[in-house]
Chains A and B, each alone.
Chain A
Amino acid sequence: MNIIEILKLIFEESGFAGLIEDPRYLIMILFACFLLYLGIHKKYEPLLMIPIAFGVLLANLPRTGLTDGLIHYLSLGVEYGIYPSLVFLGTGAMTDFGPLIANPSSLLMGAGAQFGIFTAFLMALVLGFDPKVAAAIGVIGGADGPTAILTASKLAMEYLPAIAIAAYSYMALIPMIQPPLMRLVTTETERKTVMKQTRTVTKTERIVFPIAVTIFVVLLIPDTAPLVGMLMFGNLLKETGLTDRLSDTAQNALTNIVIIFLGISVGAKAVASTFITVRTIEIVVLGLIAFSFSTVGGLLIGKIMYKVTGGKVNPLIGSAGVSAVPMAARVSQMEGQKANPNNYLLMHAMGPNVAGVIGSAVAAGFMLKIFGA
């Protein structure tokens, strides 16, 4: 065997030869680099976008065998719905439900902002998607990454990467997607509404809330248990004040570890053969529609509450019901201040914002109940 033959053998067994064999891998590598650019340079949800993008990159380097080894085992956490639930545990430990407890009527805006889930579900059916896949696509409208991933992992595994990437991309694009809709749906007078400071929430209420929500919601829709149960458990760890170490672990170490595994696993599902299809583009478009309808749904409920309360509720906080915490609430704050510099809506918007998290978990639980069997 001469040196030329050795070099030829090395090349033939390299990933480069694999790229020549199937150029779709090259497209996926470029796509992974684009996602990395969005995550690193544009700072679009970098904590998840970067692991997902790197997962896409690793899975599309031919002949590594990673998808049968390391990534296969990491992916079990997605397939069994473990990672999204653990992310919810961390989210619960980080979430302050105080604004929601102080102003429980904001739950209605959180419910209204799930409108996009059901609209996108119907549109996906019109486009010919299988009902299970349509349900998973609709959940993108909840603007909640872990919920979208959990639903997709149970109902539409083959579309999981497209759904996850669409969900996180739109969550990152909230400051661009929502403001035009907010200005379109609300009037100048409504946007200028200054809201009164909410009441103080006692520690007892904060402790009882997660326990009561878990009992009632999970008893009524048992399929919400992985999400609502973990969310409320995390919140209880935070609110008791007696389990600071556990709360700290849930908020930081555990969440960070799970996000790494989740991101890599989801990204690695985006292999060229299943990802480069027209269906992926349709999912991305449907995700945007779902997101927009959810925003409008929350705003419309906000407008109704503005009328009913005689102008005491600023409808801009309704758009925060899409649950991307706390980005959507910040957008409400920014738009409110543009209309009236003395407007401080952030804490008021946190109510619908965290209500949206519960609302999207309930909507996902409903979809799993109907289509999961």
Chain B
Amino acid sequence: MSAGRALIIAVSGFLIVFLMLCLLWFIIVLINKVTDSIGAKTAKEEPVKAETSTVEVPAETGTQEAVYGGEIALYDVDEKTAACLMAIVSDETKIPLNQLIFKSIKALD
């Protein structure tokens, strides 16, 4: 193989790796944009549902300050305790954490 051809192969190989990973960068950004827009649409629809279906929520939130950690509403519970509780529930129910959805955790008197 001639030196020129070898050099062309090496340079073009390196460039293709770069281009391919740049394409993946673009794909990741695209996935992020699409999921964000879908998430934003869902978020717009959810408050309407909440207003029509739950009547007692305003009274509760009036007395207890809700702290939002990710998608879970925490009422008088710090994030560390909430994490422990979620781990315990997952362990007791034998349901993996990635399949459990917690909507809110509230401290009882």
Contacts and interface: CB of A to CB of B under 8 A. Distances in A.
Interface of A: 100-101, 104-105, 107-108, 110-112, 114-115, 117-119, 121-122, 125, 131, 200, 202-205, 208-209, 212-213, 216-217, 220-221, 241, 244, 355, 358-359, 362-363, 366-367, 370
A359 B15 CA distance: 11
Interface of B: 1, 6-7, 9-11, 13-14, 16-18, 20-25, 27-29, 31-32, 35, 38-39, 70, 96, 98-99
Contacts of B16: 221, 362, 366
Contacts of A115: 14
B10 A217 contact: no
Given A200-B70, A362-B21, A122 B6 contact: yes
Contacts of B28: 100-101, 104, 107, 205, 209
Chain A residues touching B, majority SS: helix
Contact of B20 (A117, A131, A362): A362
Contacts, number: 96
A114 B99 CA distance: 37
A114 B20 CA distance: 12
A121 B10 contact: yes
A111 B10 CA distance: 14
Nearest to B39: A202
A251 B73 CA distance: 34
A114 B14 CA distance: 7
A107 B31 contact: no
B10 A107 contact: no
